[in-house]
Structures are given as structure tokens and as C-alpha cells.
Structure 1
């Protein structure tokens, strides 16, 4: 009986201590999408293939698509532009024309003429998604065969067709996980500090340090970035509820010259934050052990 009790206790402790929170950073440069063309199921795999200028929201893509029934890969090349996907198959000269297509696009002004530049290379097929940037799920699109005026409806079964992604996966107890790319923002740069559980739910404390702007040529694109803390709130069963964000430095908010004081025991950090573009001067007290941040005057 004692042996059985010891064994059960061992299983319980093993399960209990496995219920930890982890954060994994994975940068994706390739995505697989499911969709339809003229009501027929298709699969697309698209890869990031560099940027024309200095804006990660505008990048080249290469890949293929196939009709699920036949699974014969048809090559694609094109451009992602702030949610708009323009994809082309150039037929027998696909590799040659794909290279010419990319060589012609070197600036944001060229990106605006992508349809005109592609048409000059006589694409065999054209697939356009998200051209009206309406944030729909599924994402609507159009399929064109050659230069014919006849168009077929198309769609992607997703609400986000961005190819290059900074994924930060929070691995949670009860076989759950969330991606900060989906629930916070596209920038990644999160670091797990601590987490706590209580009768009213669970909390996770993250520190973040990421670029201010994925367009390096835009405002704050070359800045030191956005820094601060986030507290994520969950139910007792680790269902995500919401998060709070506390900036300590920011180019976008003109928040600089922050001073910090660490407690002798290393359990808390106090930040004295000067007046910024959107908030008066204030103090943040970060409890590293208890996964909390208190804002005060």
C-alpha cells in the first residue's frame, strides 16, 4: 500500500511541476495557407524573399500553389504589401521572368506599380488577395487566367496573410499556448520574467524590447526601440483574458531618460518616467517575483 501511495505521489508531483510556463521565440519566413479558387480547394506555400527597400511590411514572396485534388505544384512569385498579396505564375519562363520582376521593384514607388510591371511580363496566372485591406477572415481575392478579363473568385482561410512573422509562443499549463503575434502585436521581442497563480486567476509578466517600426525608413525606424513590461491575465484554467502594457522607453511616445532603482533583494525595480507625448511623469514599480506592475504618480 505504501509503495502504491509513493508511486501515486510521484506521478502527482511530476504532473504538478510540469505545469510551468515557457516562452519560445520562433521567426517564421514561410507560411502555408489553405484557400479556394472558384470554389475548388487549394493549398499555397509562400516564402519571404527579401525587401525592395527598407520596409518589412513590403516584401517579395516566392512559392507555389496546387489544387488539393491533384497536388501538382504551380510556381508563384510576387509581393506582400501591407496585407495585399499579388502573386504571379509566368508559365514556361517563370524563373526568368520572376527574376526580372524583382529587379524592376526597388522602392515604395515601384511597389505601387507592381500590377503594371507584372503585366508587362505576361503572366499566365494572376492571384490577388486582400487588395481592399478590409481585415476579413477569410481574405477575399481574385484569380485571372492570362490577360483575359474573366475573373474567378478566390479566398484564403486566414485573417492574416503576412509571411514574415516574429512569433513568441507562450507555452502554458493544460496543453495551451498563445502567440503574442496574434494577441499583442507583430514585433516579438518578449522575454518571460515570472508568472503566478491564484484563486482569481493567473498572471504572466513579460519584458519587451523591440523595434518601434518595421518600416526602417519610417518614423522611429532606426530608433533604439520600444521597451517596457506587459502583464498578461488568464483564468484559473489558463484561458487568456487580456494584457496591460507599461512603457519604460519609447521613440513613438518620445519617452526617454528613464531612471531605474533596483531593490536590495532584487525582487522589485522602480522606474521614474518623465513626461511623454501621451502621459504625465509617473512611477512604475515592477514586482519581478509576483508578476505585477503598479503605476503611480
Structure 2
């Protein structure tokens, strides 16, 4: 059914804004209706590395989307030693790809998680929290003159002992948040169809993957008109 709508010409006006609409108002064309629906997805990031070049670990982190021009964002997730396979929850912050992760006891973890989700502006208070069980600190990767990025490096501490964390790549950190704009076409006599607008307009590489720390272009789309390329008598 999607191939039928490939015969539609889509005329869209688009411009840059600082806020994103949830969807545009439906635009009727005879017995058809079209609207633009916006959504955002965030994918967790998996990291495999070693502590002290001796203890293999895996981390899975979810980087919450930060608002445009903000400096700090919330990270949630877990880590486990490959040997024991016990997931230990983590809570932390990232700031221009400097990442600090903490493991607290279950009660404090839940309290802080609720606090920062409701009041993200308070995240900076976490930097001075010394009641952690364990802490990871990952240092910003620097771009070399040839354009290549150096791996992340970092350290682990339990407050009394500090060990290095082996360097690791995290090239996909900026790919975690993705914008989606779908043109939803409904008709009284055809199945509802959804088209990926950013791909159709050739703008996916520019607007789909976002990172508020680096840049914040946001696209607002509205359907101006739709029409068939070859009108059919039965329609």
C-alpha cells in the first residue's frame, strides 16, 4: 500500500525553530487527510572495556536528551563484571562528553533518580556527592589534527582505591537521540500510510540525529498540499 502513496507529490514548507511541534494540524484534500507527526527515540549505548586491564566489564548507558544550549544531561544505566553477570545500577551526568557515573545504595539511587528527572537543573549537585559506593569518571575524547578521535579514557574508584579504566571508543554517543517526522496519510477507502519525511526530503543526515551539546537545529514541517501524480477515475 505504501507504493500507492509514492505517486503523491508532497509540498512541504520547512524552517528552523527552537521548539518542536508534536504534530501538525491535519490537512484535508478531498477525501484524504495528511498530518506530520513528530517523535523522538533514544537508544542505549553498550560499552565493553576493562578495569585496570584485568577486570572485563560491560556498561549499558542511556543518555537523556538535553535541551538546546544546556550544558549538562542525565545518564542512567548499569554495569556488570563479565565474570559475575550481576547488573549494578548507575546514575550520572554528562557534560560535553565528560561522563561521571555513580553507584549508590538502592534507596538513594531511587531518590536521586526521581529528583533529577523532576528537576534536571539540580544535576550539578551530584558532582559533589561523596556518598557513592563506586564512581566512574570518563574523560572527554580529543580530536586529533588528522580528524580522528582519541578513545575515551577514565578511572574507577570506591573512595579508597582508584584504578584506571582501559580506553574505549564511544563514537555513537551522538547518535543516540533521533528525531522522526512522519507524514501520516489517511483516506476513507485506503489503509493509513506513514512516510518518513526526513528521508523523503533528503534531510535525514542533517536533522534526524541530534546532539544538544554540539548543535541544535530543529525542523518544523507542515503539509501544505498533496496531490496524485496520475489521478484515477475511481477516486
TM-score, length of structure 2 as denominator length: 0.52
**Equivalent in the alignment of 2:165:** 154
Q: Which SS does the other structure have where 1:77 is aligned?
A: strand
Distance 1:219 1:142, change over 3 A: closer
Asked if the contact 1:83–1:161 (Cα under 8 Å) also holds between the matched residues in 2, the reply is no
**Equivalent in the alignment of 1:62:** 76
Matches of 1:122 and 1:161 in 2, distance apart?
31
Q: CA deviation at 1:49?
A: 3.6
Asked if the contact 1:42–1:66 (Cα under 8 Å) also holds between the matched residues in 2, the reply is yes
Q: CA deviation at 1:101?
A: 4.9
Q: CA deviation at 1:85?
A: 1.5
What are the ranges of 5 or more consecutive residues in structure 1 without an aligned counterpart?
A: 1-25, 169-188, 193-205, 226-297
**Equivalent in the alignment of 1:119:** 128
**Equivalent in the alignment of 1:72:** 86
Matched, 1:191 2:199: yes
Q: CA deviation at 1:117?
A: 2.8
Matches of 1:86 and 1:162 in 2, distance apart?
15
Q: Which has the larger radius of gyration?
A: 1
**Equivalent in the alignment of 1:215:** 212
Moved over 6 A (4+): none
Matched, 1:97 2:141: no
Q: Which SS does the other structure have where 1:70 is aligned?
A: coil
Q: CA deviation at 1:105?
A: 4.0
**Equivalent in the alignment of 1:46:** 61
Counterpart selection for 1:133 from 138, 141, 157: 141
Asked if the contact 1:101–1:118 (Cα under 8 Å) also holds between the matched residues in 2, the reply is no
Asked if the contact 2:63–2:73 (Cα under 8 Å) also holds between the matched residues in 1, the reply is yes
Paired residues in the alignment total 158
Matches of 2:60 and 2:216 in 1, distance apart?
32
Matches of 1:32 and 1:61 in 2, distance apart?
13
Matches of 2:215 and 2:87 in 1, distance apart?
41
Q: CA deviation at 1:96?
A: 1.7
Distance 1:123 1:101, change over 3 A: farther
Matches of 2:72 and 2:92 in 1, distance apart?
11
Q: CA deviation at 1:156?
A: 5.2
Q: CA deviation at 1:158?
A: 1.6
Asked if the contact 1:46–1:63 (Cα under 8 Å) also holds between the matched residues in 2, the reply is yes
Q: Which SS does the other structure have where 1:207 is aligned?
A: coil
Q: CA deviation at 1:87?
A: 0.8
**Equivalent in the alignment of 2:101:** 87
Distance 1:122 1:43, change over 3 A: same
Asked if the contact 2:89–2:103 (Cα under 8 Å) also holds between the matched residues in 1, the reply is yes
What are the ranges of 5 or more consecutive residues in structure 2 without an aligned counterpart?
A: 1-39, 144-148, 181-196, 222-235
